[in-house]
Structure 1
């Protein structure tokens, strides 16, 4: 995290550190950060306890938080910073009263934030305590993060937002990653056409293709556009789902 913030400070970005701690503890965490106190004084560095930023854990609302981060990003730009760089330790948001369901709900929030970062001057690094988060929930969360450190699952595959509003699917969708893939697809916005860029997809099993078909049905009458799917996927679609309304294949 110190390196992450040090790079942002050197680039003239505003830094925001969020965790389930008091502000004094947050400041202590950043003691190795050069010019920490000076940046706190100028407003380049901000410290926010998790509850102050997100509100009560049980009342967490993804849409409200996404809108809030958009406003924080806009405020950073208005203040003369080139970008908002956020480090958030968010384990307690995942471990709310309904446990794993909360983790999967939070995946939807992460998908939304990924979409913001693809189009706005915002960078974010999320942290989760893997001693407390279930393996299944951790894999689902890793699946929607392009870069992962210390992750047990979800390596090499995922669903990520692109700058043009489309989504890239990468890696292998198989028995190991299928549940995370289905969770990520269920979190994609259903109020517009969705384009999935599949040039980075190296393998997908039949159950993964079925998840795509279910997404297409959920979107109707809007479209699911599969851009540059691998040849085996094209064959499966022609055999089983050729007449599925709203499903389009593009090169």
Structure 2
């Protein structure tokens, strides 16, 4: 799918789904990388950042404060994981990098010490910037230190994720142009993840959600959508684009007559 980059004035495409290796990542990619052990993580980081080095990007590594030694890679600025905790800092850094001749900014961050529901909200807000700006970001977390429900939530809010067990391509994320995507399967198992994602949307106005990549959406997830639409109405509404016949049927049967805050287009 193509979206318009409103800050940098270009048309871009974003990828979603599973990624088996931390290479082949390009501008606007936002990758969740669960790992086991610091050696595994640092190997992934080196691969990820070296690719950015070859592409002329500015390289940043944000450590979690676990005492790991420096990366064996030239041209990498290493900071503490909380150093870029405000989006305006990242935007300024990107502008400076581009003005200095870099093609963009590539960031690897170990988020293990930051993981939580509030951090997942931040990831969604940050993803909107990543979708607009010349950024490539890989977020790692240690599976031995992160609860399974939080690991599933982190995967849900990242457009790209390392395959982990039976986790699929289920998620909701900004498209960078004021709209959203929903992909994979939305059901009772991840309805609370969907609710958290929708809570980060602007509270008013019309928000377009592309649901053409949804394989299934059950009644529980649909109720979450309708509650979000109710909170917006009458100051705004959710517009579902590309709804499958199955999703249309779920809405028709469960909520005959429709909902004023939810539009199918």
TM-score range, shorter-chain basis? 0.7 to 0.9
Would you tell me which structure has more strand in proportion to its own residues? Answer: 2
Residue 60 of structure 1: aligned partner: none
Is structure 2 residue 259 aligned with structure 1 residue 244? Answer: yes
1:114, 1:51 → 2: CA distance? 16
CA deviations over 1:31-57 (Å, ceiling 9, x no partner): 1x3xx1xx2xxxxx2111224444xxx
Is structure 2 residue 94 aligned with structure 1 residue 50? Answer: no
Residue 69 of structure 1: aligned partner: 90
1:117, 1:53 → 2: CA distance? 13
1:79, 1:230 → 2: CA distance? 46
CA deviations over 1:193-245 (Å, ceiling 9, x no partner): 21110110010110110011011112221110000111122123234163422
TM-score for the superposition, normalised by structure 1: 0.80
Is structure 2 residue 225 aligned with structure 1 residue 212? Answer: yes
The worse-fitting range, judged by mean Cα deviation, of 232-241 and 164-173 is 232-241
Is structure 2 residue 246 aligned with structure 1 residue 232? Answer: yes
Does the 8 Å contact 1:19/1:26 carry over to 2? no
Once the 2 structures are TM-superposed, how far is the Cα of residue 153 of structure 1 from its aligned partner?
A: 6.4
Once the 2 structures are TM-superposed, how far is the Cα of residue 25 of structure 1 from its aligned partner?
A: 4.1
Q: Which runs of 5+ in 2 are unaligned?
A: 1-44
Larger RCO (alpha carbons 8 Å, 6+ apart): 2
1:62-141 matched pairs, under 5 angstroms: 65-94=86-115, 103-141=116-154
Q: 1:53 to 1:165 in 2, by over 3 A?
A: closer
Residue 25 of structure 2: aligned partner: none
The worse-fitting range, judged by mean Cα deviation, of 141-150 and 181-190 is 181-190
Once the 2 structures are TM-superposed, how far is the Cα of residue 70 of structure 1 from its aligned partner?
A: 1.5
Q: 1:211 to 1:3 in 2, by over 3 A?
A: same
Is structure 2 residue 19 aligned with structure 1 residue 6? Answer: no
Q: Which runs of 5+ in 1 are unaligned?
A: 40-44, 55-64, 95-102
1:138-149 matched pairs, under 5 angstroms: 138-149=151-162
Does the 8 Å contact 1:142/1:155 carry over to 2? no
Would you tell me which structure has more helix in proportion to its own residues? Answer: 1
1:241, 1:83 → 2: CA distance? 49
Residue 99 of structure 1: aligned partner: none
Give the aligned CA root-mean-square deviation in angstroms. Answer: 2.0
2:89, 2:257 → 1: CA distance? 42
